[in-house]
Amino acid sequence: MFKKGFILAVTLVVALLSFSLAADCIHADKPHYTISTDATYPPFDFQDKNNDYIGIDQDILKEIAKRENFTYTLKPMSFTSAAQLVANGQADGIIAGMAITDERKEVYDNSTPYYKTGVAWIVKKGSEIKSLKDLKGKTVALKTGTAASEYGKSLQRKYGFNIKYFNDTDTMYNDVVVGNSAATFEDMPVIQYAIKNGVKLKVMNANNPGNAGSYGFFVKKDENKELLASFNRGFASIKKDGTYDKIIKKYLGATQSTFTGSKKNNNSVLGILKANDGAFLKGLWLTIELTVLAIILASIWGVTLGVMGVSQNSAVRGLSTTLIYIFRGLPLMVLAFFIYIGLPGVIGTKIPAFTAGLITLILNEGAYTGAFVRGGFEAVDKG
């Protein structure tokens, strides 16, 4: 009975694994890349009413991929994770309204500059703050890992403000609009677009942006040279025939709601489900796949840990206890991020998102199961 169940479980694991691996290998004829981006950074990167990624960056990338004959999987996430993904070799490139700076040149290689930028310092409309000196003792909102946040941080000592970090631009703006933070730093084209679209903030240095520079497409230093060359070639071609100008005009000449639609009918639970049904069903299936696989593999790992926990050998017992304590105590999300974003940098190979998720669940669930199993053994009287 147990043997039959085990064989069934192994067959299921193999079937599900080959299914998800097959899904990864469908683009064999053209080069295929993984490209990360900022999940919300209008007008450069944002979602339209069908939840497709659009914006200046996205249109440029799409057009270049078409001309240069490559395909890509887009990974939208917080900017700092998106940049880490490339630095650790998990993604091949990043386009995310990302400024070319000297520090970044140490870690990445960048493309031809494609858009002018600089840092703005920003307050709420009608704020009493008139100069940077008025920020003394106040809180300034910054977005983790950005060039604007580095610029803001470099002024902290001189002007004596406190810093609060955010992961995305919208939440950061909102903190200033509601008055929790007194000011923020963000890139000029991004804040100007937000203000044009109704965000109640004011730029204090419109004619004098800090650290003026440009945006670029980035790959990890000394790697993915082909992708970078493709980007540069494709960019030269869209610049030459006017496609680039058309893209810029398309976004800057219209309001954001032209693309995103009114959010009115999306507010009910049903409306949200309906608007996102494709993503929702895909997510549901992935969750089922992951759950089934994780339960089976975590049980095997958990029983192993439990048996190790009652071993005669104190070193084996110690190892089991340590693993159980670490992986039961570590928050699941932290572990998931560490395995998906951090670990590839250490071991030097990519870990697919599915595999990273599976390892995370096995380690976490396995630790709990291990503790139960050990407890079960210990509950039996010695005699």
Residues of the shown chain interacting with ligand ASN in the complex, contacts defined by CB under 6 A: 38, 41, 79, 96-99, 143, 146-147, 187
Please tell me the distance from the alpha carbon of residue 140 to that of residue 117, in angstroms, as a whole number: 21
Q: Which is nearer to ligand ASN, 31 or 145 (CB)?
A: 145
Contacting residues for 174 by C-beta, under 8 A, at least 6 apart: none
- DSSP-assigned states of every residue in 282-322: HHHHHHHHHHHHHHHHHHHHHHHHHHHTT-SSHHHHHHHHH
The least CB distance from residue 98 to ligand ASN, in Å, is 5
Specify the residue, 135 or 147, whose C-beta has the smaller distance to ligand ASN. Answer: 147
CB of 149 to ligand ASN, least distance (A): 7
We find the least distance from the C-beta atom of residue 68 to ligand ASN, in angstroms, to be 23
Burial class of residue 182 (count of CB atoms within 10 Å of its CB; 0-12, 13-18, 19+): buried
How far apart CA 144 and CA 163 sit, in angstroms, is: 11
Q: Which residue's CB is nearer to ligand ASN, number 188 or number 339?
A: 188
For the bound state, the minimum distance from the C-beta of residue 155 to ligand ASN, rounded and expressed in Å, comes to: 16
The DSSP annotation for 103-152 comes to HHHHHEEE-S--EEEEEEEEEETT-S--SGGGGTT-EEEEETT-HHHHHH
Minimum separation from the CB atom of position 117 to ligand ASN (A): 7
Cβ 46 to ligand ASN, closest distance in Å?
A: 11
Show the tokens assigned to 243: 């496609």
Nearer to ligand ASN, 35 or 99 (CB): 99
Amino acid at 357: G
Structure tokens at 258: 């032209």
**Which CB sits closer to ligand ASN, 121 or 327?**
121
For ligand ASN, the closer of residues 99 and 359 by Cβ is 99
Identify the residue whose tokens are 């069903």: 281
